[in-house]
Amino acid sequence: MDTKRAIEDASTYLMNTYNRYPILLRKGRGMKVWSADGNEYLDFVGGIAVNVLGHCHPKVVVAIQKQAQRLLHVSNFYHIEPQIELAKLLVEHSFADKVFFCNSGAEANEAGIKLARKYAKEALGPDKFEFISAQNSFHGRTLATLSAGGQEKFQKGFEPMMPGFRHVPFNDISQIEKAITPKTCGVLLEPIQGEGGVNVPHPEYLSQVRQLCNERKLLFILDEVQTGMGRTGKLFAYEHYGITPDIMTLAKGLGGGVPIGAMLASKEVSGAFKPALHGTTFGGNPLVCAAGITVLNTILEDGFILEQCVRMGEYLIEKLNSLKKDFPSIVVDVRGKGLLVGMEITKEGGPIVNTCMQRGVLINFTAGNILRFMPPLIVQKKDIDQLANVLEEVFHSLQRE
Those residues with Cβ within 8 angstroms of residue 68's Cβ, 6 or more apart along the chain or in another chain:
287
Catalytic member of 98, 128, 234, 252: 252
Integer Cα distance of 51 and 258 in angstroms: 9
Catalytic member of 131, 165, 223, 337: 223
Integer Cα distance of 306 and 211 in angstroms: 28
| The residue type at 51 | N
Catalytic member of 138, 165, 273, 327: 138
Tell me which residue of 54, 367, 94, 365 sits closest to 250, measured CA to CA: 94
Residue 30 is given by DSSP the state B
28: β partners: 33
Those residues with Cβ within 8 angstroms of residue 311's Cβ, 6 or more apart along the chain or in another chain:
none
Integer Cα distance of 374 and 364 in angstroms: 8
**Complete DSSP assignment for 90-149:** HHHTSS-SEEEEESSHHHHHHHHHHHHHHHHHHHT-TT--EEEEETT----SSHHHHHHS
Annotated catalytic residue 223: yes
Annotated catalytic residue 234: no
Q: Is 341 helix (H, G, I), strand (E, B) or coil?
A: strand
Integer Cα distance of 286 and 264 in angstroms: 19
Annotated catalytic residue 88: no
Q: Report the DSSP pairing between strands 32-35 and 98-102.
A: unpaired
Is the distance from CB of 306 to CB of 227 less than 8 angstroms?
no
| The residue type at 184 | T
Integer Cα distance of 131 and 121 in angstroms: 13
Is the distance from CB of 256 to CB of 285 less than 8 angstroms?
no
Instruction: Provide the annotated active-site residues.
Output: 138, 223, 252
